[in-house]
Amino acid sequence: MGALQITSPAFQNNGNIPSKYTCDGSDINPSLMIENCPAGAKSIALICDDPDAPMGTWVHWVIWNIPPSVKEIKENTVPQGAVEGMNDFRKHSYGGPCPPSGTHRYFFKVYALDTMLSISPNSTKADLEKAMQGHILAQGQLIGLYKRR
């Protein structure tokens, strides 16, 4: 699998996520740049989760059917045509970092897929991962850190 790249002008890989993008701020998604999408890709999926949550991995954002032509997911937006699934806040939207204690890691993972997905908008991360099996052409990740003040 090739290296799909995901970066953000808001924070470096393994850097601190500004509070604007968390429950302590505006709770909006940061701008994300996607590069090196392979030629055969039909769509891109994105999962943002926190493996350091006390109850196990907490899902902050699930989104799929992002057009492969999208190079940037702008701050506080969802690309046209993309579908937001159900996160662990029970919402169809981005839910920013809000760790109960300590510094948590937030993984923004992107997947270039050889298909469009026809799963319910109520689908969760597990549903999305199952639907993506056998269709991933490339993937990449960006890790952000956050600790509440």
Q: Quick one: 129 exposed, middle or buried, by C-beta within 10 A (0-12, 13-18, 19+)?
A: middle
Domain that holds residue 95: 2-147
* pLDDT per residue as tens digits for the range 85-106: 999 999 999 999 999 999 999 9
pTM of the predicted structure, to 2 decimals: 0.96
> By C-alpha distance, which of 127, 137, 108 is closest to 43?
137
Our count of domains for the chain comes to 1
Mean pLDDT of 60-80: 97
Sorting pLDDT into bands at 50, 70 and 90, what band is 35?
Answer: very high
Q: Report the mean per-residue pLDDT for the chain.
A: 96
* pLDDT per residue as tens digits for the range 116-141: 999 999 999 999 999 999 999 999 99
CATH classification at residue 38: 3.90.280.10
CA 68, CA 84: separation in Å to the nearest integer?
A: 16
